[in-house]
Amino acid sequence: MIGVAVAGACGRMGTLVIENVLNADDMKLVLALDVVRVGEPVCEGVVVQDAAEISELLSSAKPDVLIDFTRADAAVKNVGAAALSGVSAVVGTTGFSHEQRAQLEEFVDDRVPCIISPNFSIGVNAFFRIVESASRLLSGYDVEIVEAHHRNKQDAPSGTAMRLAHIISDVLGECEFVYGRKGMASRGDEIGIHAVRAGDIVGDHTVIFAGNGDRIELTHRAHSRNTFASGAVAAARWIVSQPAGMHTMDEFLSSLTG
């Protein structure tokens, strides 16, 4: 039985992650962490605990894996605590700075296995591979990325859009990223990245490859946030048996296809 701790337990994603854990035959929720609704019951034997005390709580609950959907600054602290406690980590939090990402890698190096992804949807990670292949075939085409999310999403562009941009740039070779356009904005050798925030959109990502005479648009649309939660739980099941260090969703996807 895999013992699971969830940070951000009362958020939209944390709630769905907990639901998936409770429905899994091989997992047990042993710790729910948040900074709100502390003391409220989550399930039989588990109440929301104060995330400020994560180090002590991980030491007493002894989970096998921590699943984190919080904010960048909180996730850095949470992963650091998990690493010191020997707890594997699955991080769906986005918006990390380069410094924060380096700190996360330093925390887990030679200590615990960890997987950080802007998107745990299996479909999105297949989409990443499709976009990479298209980038190789369409190297002379202009590229634009358009993403849309609900009005309450804080970071823009989305972590998934940025991951797409880096995948394409790695294929084409160090492209400039241009975030929206205004005024006199002649197009160069760049990747345009555009963010929409409106209503209750779960998550749409479109990559446009436009040439002289034709255009290809590749789109992934998330219909439910549960696609992210179930993917994170599946990744948690996988990560606990991996060696210490940073791992990727591409590795996880490869494990599914053999």
Q: Is residue 62 annotated as a catalytic residue, yes or no? A: no
Residue type, 7: A
Q: Is residue 182 annotated as a catalytic residue, yes or no? A: no
SS3 49: strand
CA angle 78, 104, 125 (to 5 degrees): 95
Catalytic residue, chosen from 77, 98, 150, 153, is: 153
CB atoms within 10 A of CB 135: 20
Give the span between the Cα atoms of 22 and 14, in whole angstroms. Answer: 12
Catalytic residue, chosen from 77, 149, 194, 220, is: 149
SS3 122: helix
* Active site residue ranges: 149, 153
